[in-house]
Each structure stands twice: as structure tokens, then as C-alpha cells.
Amino acid sequence: MGMDWHIETETLLKLGIATLIGMVIGLERELKNKPLGLKTCIVIAISSCVLTMISIDAAYHFPRSNRIMMDPLRLPAQIISGIGFIGAGVILRKSNDVISGLTTSAMIWGAAGLGVAIGAGFYKEAFVSLIFILISVEFLPWIVGKIGPNRLQEKEIRVRMSLNDKDKLTDILKEMKAKKIRIHSVRIDDMRDNEFPIMETKIMVHKKRYVTDVYYDIKAIDGVVGVKCDTL
């Protein structure tokens, strides 16, 4: 008995849609220079789709001959759980204690979920979900940033300053506030054998304000001898 190489049109349709959806999500991440690329996202979507199709077909074909009851969604459930390992791999902790990659990790999980949906035959639901995901990631933050509270229109910068006078710490913070720099947190280091005390602050400024302008404003404050700025 030869192997049947016939592939149903619906199978090709599912795999094609999974490829398209994976490509859209991958392009969105790659255009932002994120760890999740085009090829990775397509592989995740197609693999999730084909494993879901196998799981459902096996559940309804094998019991006829072997009389074994199978859960058609058992394998897709393991896909969603297992994809978490890939998602965890793109979550990074930078040297300035900032965690990044959470959105990319969620997009990996979303690509797998959409692949499962397509493999199960929920085409419309998958496309509508893709549209809502793209709106949430691309357009909603922009709209909220335009019409939302002022704090949503700010960006966070970490500033490290070398000071030549311990008695001017409070005056320096007051001058920073006068320059429209909102101070989120302050950390003072005077325990090391440094010539100058170190003050680290997390500040909030308007998104349109250049980091270089913030650097020059802080550098001009009396008592500040060195400044290091990191965007978060």
C-alpha cells in the first residue's frame, strides 16, 4: 500500500494563512529592530498551525480503528505552554536595570495562538484578532500619547551626576525641577573612595525633548562636574 501524497486544499489554505499572519507580526517586530524577526514568527505560526491540524485529525481518525478516546486540543494546549520558553528568551534585562522585550514575548505567544486558531479552522477569528493586536501595538499607544494624561507623553531617563559639593544636593534637585525635569527617584552614593559624591536619578521629561538638551541643562547646574544620561 503506497503512501497517499494528496494534500487537501483546506490544508494548504490554513498553512498559507498562518504564513501570512506570521509574516505580518514578524515584519512589525523587525521594523522596530526587535529580537523577534520575520523568519522566527513565520516558523512559530506555521508550526502551531500544523500541530493543531495533526492533533484534531488524530483525535477524530485514530479512535475509529483503535477505539481510543483522544482530546483534540491536548497538543495545542502544550504548544501555548511550550512557546513560553521562546518568549522568555527575548526578555532582556539591561545594565541599567530596565527590562525590555515584554511586548515581543507577547507577540510570540500571540503568533502561536493565531496559528492554533487557524489550524482549528477559525479563520475569521484569527484575522480579526490579528487586526486588534496590530491596533493595540501600533495605533493605541500613539492615540493615548496624544490625548491621554501628560505623564503618558513623557519618557524616562536615567542620569548619573558627579558633584563637587555635598551641601548642594538639594539645590541641584531644585534647579532640575525649575528646568521642567520631573524627578522620579534619587540615589546618592558617598560610600566609595571617590573624589566627588555620586547622585543617580530617574527623571521624566517630555517625549519630544532631546536627551542632549537634558544633558546640557543638568551640566550647566552649579555643583555638577560630570553627567551621564541613559535612555530607558
> Residue 148 is placed in which grid cell?
491621554
Note whether 225 and 118 are same-domain residues: no
Residue 184: Cβ within 10 Å count: 12
What is the residue-level pLDDT of the chain in tens, covering all 232 positions? Answer: 455 566 778 888 888 999 999 888 888 888 777 777 788 888 888 888 888 888 887 777 665 555 556 677 777 777 777 777 777 777 766 655 566 677 888 888 888 888 888 888 888 888 888 899 888 888 877 787 777 677 777 888 999 999 888 888 899 999 999 999 999 889 888 776 667 788 999 999 988 899 999 999 999 999 899 999 988 6
Note whether 93 and 183 are same-domain residues: no
Note whether 17 and 126 are same-domain residues: yes
pTM: 0.66
Domain around 203 = 151-231
Q: Please say which residue of 147, 176, 206 terminates a domain.
A: 147
Exposure b/e, 196-206, CB count within 10 A at least 16 = b: bbbbebbbbbe
Note whether 133 and 38 are same-domain residues: yes
> Is 189:132 a contact under the CB 8 Å cutoff?
no
State the total domains in the chain.
Answer: 2
